[in-house]
């Protein structure tokens, strides 16, 4: 990943509208594209929630809140004739080197393997790519990867230097 982009920038438009800049993002492996700049009409005297629907891939607005299956863009408070405030709610968007497929993420995955005070070897569902993307938490504490540290990683196999105790919690977060 190279860095942040200015995808879907919300800007104050004329009267009761905002302009949402063009951009491309990925959600659950699906390509969502907003072609060009989009002008969004707002409801007067209201809090307007502007978002991209991950179902329709369209920029939408309502006055009830961000819906399930959306990417938030902005919260805009209006008066009868103008915009009172605009809050940028966009998540960070990243540019993928060389285009291609979007990354996949594993969040709060519990690696397979017995947590029994004896076992030191656990298996992830996927191979972390890059391997440094693995954030492994034992009882909520981030573990350090590498020889002589908390654990080592080979492919999708985690080997702890000391066996986690019975009842410990283990969670992995990574790209693949």
Cα–Cα separations (whole angstroms), residue 143 to 37, 123, 133, 136 = 44, 16, 13, 6
Pair 5, 93: CB distance under 8 Å? yes
Higher per-residue pLDDT: 81 or 100: 81
Predicted local distance difference test score (pLDDT) of residue 33: 57
The whole-number pLDDT of residue 100 equals 45
pLDDT of residue 28: 58
C-alpha distances in Å from residue 82, one per residue of 42, 63, 157: 9, 16, 57
> Does residue 117 surpass a pLDDT of 90?
yes
Provide the mean pLDDT of the chain.
81
Q: pTM of the full predicted structure?
A: 0.50
Interval 47-90: pLDDT, tens:
999 988 877 778 899 999 998 888 888 899 999 988 888 888 87
Q: What is the pLDDT of residues 134-143, one digit of tens each?
A: 999 999 899 9
Angle at 48 between CA 42 and CA 50, to 5 degrees: 90
Q: Which is nearest to 161 in space by CA: 130, 121, 134, 127?
A: 121
pLDDT at 108: 80
Distance between CA atoms of 33 and 118, rounded to whole angstroms? 49
């Amino acid at each position: 990943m190279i860095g942040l982009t200015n995808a879907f920038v919300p800007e104050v438009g004329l009267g009761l509208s905002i302009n949402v800049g063009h951009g491309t993002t990925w959600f659950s492996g699906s390509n969502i594209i907003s072609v060009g700049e989009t002008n969004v009409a707002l409801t007067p005297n209201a809090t307007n929630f502007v978002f991209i629907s991950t179902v329709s891939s369209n920029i939408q607005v309502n006055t009830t809140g961000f819906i399930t299956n959306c990417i938030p863009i902005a919260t805009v408070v209006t008066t009868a004739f103008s915009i009172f405030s605009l809050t940028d709610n966009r998540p960070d968007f990243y540019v993928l080197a060389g285009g291609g497929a979007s990354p996949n993420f594993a969040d709060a995955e519990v690696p397979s393997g017995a947590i029994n005070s004896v076992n030191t070897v656990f298996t992830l569902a996927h191979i972390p790519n890059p391997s440094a993307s693995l954030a492994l938490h034992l009882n909520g504490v981030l573990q350090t990867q590498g020889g002589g540290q908390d654990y080592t990683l080979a492919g999708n196999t985690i080997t702890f230097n000391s066996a986690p105790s019975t009842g410990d919690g283990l969670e992995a977060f990574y790209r693949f």
